[in-house]
């Protein structure tokens, strides 16, 4: 039952990144450093229309790693996977290494 969700309007579907609680060498990371609330963009909506009917595309794209607000987001379970749905305007920014 693998299902895909195409978000509507200016919504963004995100799969949250669970920050590692240990370093690669297995050392427990202090709880404080692993607080970054981020996720991978899985799908974006077609965008909304401004008052002249012009389409305003979503400002992030599939594959981006994005910084998420502390609150908000709608939980969506598709099969065994858990995603979160945000409005484009709620996404705080894009993370780059």
Query: In the bound complex, what is the minimum distance in angstroms from residue 80's beta carbon to a second copy?
Result: 8
Query: In the bound complex, what is the minimum distance in angstroms from residue 74's beta carbon to a second copy?
Result: 7
Query: In the bound complex, what is the minimum distance in angstroms from residue 68's beta carbon to a second copy?
Result: 11
Chain centroid to Cα 50, Å, comes to 24
> Going by DSSP bridges, is the β-strand pair 11-16/55-56 parallel, antiparallel, or unpaired?
unpaired
Is 29 a binding residue for a second copy by CB under 8 A? The answer is: no
Give CA–CA dist 89/5, Å, rounded: 19
Is 24 a binding residue for a second copy by CB under 8 A? The answer is: no
Total residues at interface with a second copy (CB under 8 A)? 44
Integer-rounded Cα Rg, in Å, for the chain is 15
Catalog residues that contact a second copy under the rule CB under 8 A. 1-9, 11, 13, 33, 35-36, 43, 45-46, 49-54, 56, 59-60, 66-67, 69-70, 74, 76-78, 85, 88-89, 91-97
């Amino acid at each position: 039952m693998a299902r895909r969700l195409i978000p509507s309007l200016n919504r963004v579907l995100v799969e949250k990144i669970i920050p590692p609680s240990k370093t690669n060498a297995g050392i427990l990371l202090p709880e404080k450093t692993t607080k970054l609330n981020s996720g991978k963009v899985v799908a974006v909506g077609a965008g909304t229309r401004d008052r002249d009917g012009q389409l305003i595309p979503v400002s992030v794209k599939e594959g981006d790693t994005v910084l998420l607000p502390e609150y908000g987001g709608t939980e969506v379970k598709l099969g065994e996977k858990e995603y979160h749905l945000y409005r484009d305007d709620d996404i705080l920014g894009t993370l780059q290494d």
